[in-house]
Structure 1
């Protein structure tokens, strides 16, 4: 394309030169009169040739620039081709990454859908749990329901300790002369400190006929009110502390009630203490935190506040005492059987000695009889032969060896 433009410019320049020559020839033939016109035309032709020459130079400059641009484009194309060749593995890897990302996005979308479904189920469960919790909280505000729950927890702890009903403990057993606490006489006994003849929730039997009364108490009204306030809620911190203080007062009030009932007075061999069972660890710990002197006060009054863990430890100790008592009883029984065996063995030896003496007398009597037979009886028996009458043959008595005839004497040191 650049060569055609240059060739065209050369043709144009030659045409212009030819035109100028033709004009000059025409002017010369016209004479002097047309010299000026010819000169003017020649000047015009020269101007046109100069313009053509300038245009040719411009066209050559443009051709040079176009060639430079073409070379640069060719070099750039080669560089881009090399770059594309170098980037081809990266492009392949990017394609794999793209496919992996698309697969990962699909999996994430599926997982997000599952998570959304799980969150919906969790929200539903949370609503149900909130409803159940509300129902449970309402039930725990009922004193009868709380009492039943406390008794169930108490029985579970006792069973976990390995104790057996009616052997190691009794439930709701009234002592002799039980008087209803609601009667006038019952109130008088409680105030005077005399035996209340009450009905504890459980009696733990001890070796030697002792008993430990256990009463289950569930003070949860103020505790539930306090738990409804978050510990991080600083604005209601004072209100929460007030509810916990009321909870500690309620526990102390139950201690005073058990002191007035005086359960240990109903049992002669009681260790003079009453166990107050709280069916939750938090009930006891929160009360002791709010009233640090509560435990010392209760112990001083003969009341032991316990939670499931501490009561289990106490009952395991009682069970260990029972096992020790059972082992001692078995050892005493073995000693008694041994003594009886010694006594009976002594009697048996006496009888055996008498039997030996009797056997010895029998052997002497047998020997005497044999001597009498041979020296006295058989002499008369032989006279029948002299009379001519054959006597019936006699069977010889059995012989007794010397070893059998001799009674063995005892040589053991015990005899």
Structure 2
């Protein structure tokens, strides 16, 4: 736990790329805890060419039953939150808090412009999940600016933290479990139907053979 705290501190003090990498690490842990399997129910760093022939690379694409997809973005930066967390006076803390809120709002707008829903080959839901990898940073922003949720929704984005994302992913894992059970039940029903058809044909054949034998026996008796 101590090492993880050190890693988080380093990530918060790092540049945007370092923070993005930390967000991806936390996201990977949440995905692993959800019960979903990489390469089956979700994929990472998939490169897709958009209509303008530039390449887009969502952090994670979660597959849903019935061919739907959910995109998760983990590139939110938390430089301002780090300053808020380590502030030694109220003025610095309040200033950093306002920067943190502005950073969340700015990322909402940038993510909305990416328009992941329109990428060829994806059948996404209406909303992209914007992952804020540090729970207190997520709660702090929404506590001070609850309207961020509405602003995000207007941009077809849902804000999620490690806790809320895990709940959503486990729900998806349960949907897949029911889907697999349904498919298995259908396979069993199909096999049972085929077995029944074979048994019925066998019984019909045996009945026909029996009738032929009876007819042959009657002919023999009449001779």
Q: Under TM normalisation by the shorter chain, which class is it?
A: 0.7 to 0.9
Give distance in 2, aligned partners of 1:134 and 1:152.
Answer: 11
Does the alignment pair 1:292 with 2:140? Answer: no
1:245 and 1:291 in contact (8 A); partners too: no
Measure how far apart 1:349 and its partner are.
2.3
1:265 and 1:272 in contact (8 A); partners too: no
Higher relative contact order (CA 8 A, sep 6+): 2
Partner of 1:376: none
Give distance in 2, aligned partners of 1:150 and 1:210.
Answer: 24
Measure how far apart 1:265 and its partner are.
1.5
Does the alignment pair 1:302 with 2:156? Answer: yes
Give distance in 2, aligned partners of 1:138 and 1:315.
Answer: 25
SS of residue matched to 1:276: strand
Partner of 2:94: 241
Give distance in 2, aligned partners of 1:160 and 1:135.
Answer: 19
TM normalised by structure 1 equals: 0.49
Measure how far apart 1:178 and its partner are.
4.5
- Name structure 1 gaps, 5 residues minimum: 1-128, 180-184, 187-195, 231-235, 372-415
Change (3 A) 1:289 1:345: same
Partner of 1:274: 128
CA-based RMSD of the aligned residues comes to: 2.5
Alignment of 1:13-24 (within 5 A): none
Q: Which structure would you say has the larger Rg? A: 1
Change (3 A) 1:226 1:211: same
Which is richer in helix? 1
1:245 and 1:290 in contact (8 A); partners too: no
SS of residue matched to 1:240: helix
Measure how far apart 1:281 and its partner are.
0.1
Does the alignment pair 1:207 with 2:65? Answer: yes
SS of residue matched to 2:141: helix
1:274 and 1:303 in contact (8 A); partners too: yes
Give distance in 2, aligned partners of 1:159 and 1:174.
Answer: 22
Alignment of 1:33-52 (within 5 A): none
Which is richer in strand? 2
Does the alignment pair 1:166 with 2:39? Answer: yes
Measure how far apart 1:226 and its partner are.
1.5
Partner of 2:27: 154
1:169 and 1:205 in contact (8 A); partners too: yes
Aligned residues: 219
Give distance in 2, aligned partners of 1:142 and 1:202.
Answer: 21
Candidates 79, 93, 101, aligned match of 1:221: 79
Measure how far apart 1:214 and its partner are.
0.5
Candidates 96, 101, 104, aligned match of 1:251: 104
Give distance in 2, aligned partners of 1:350 and 1:135.
Answer: 73
Change (3 A) 1:296 1:135: closer
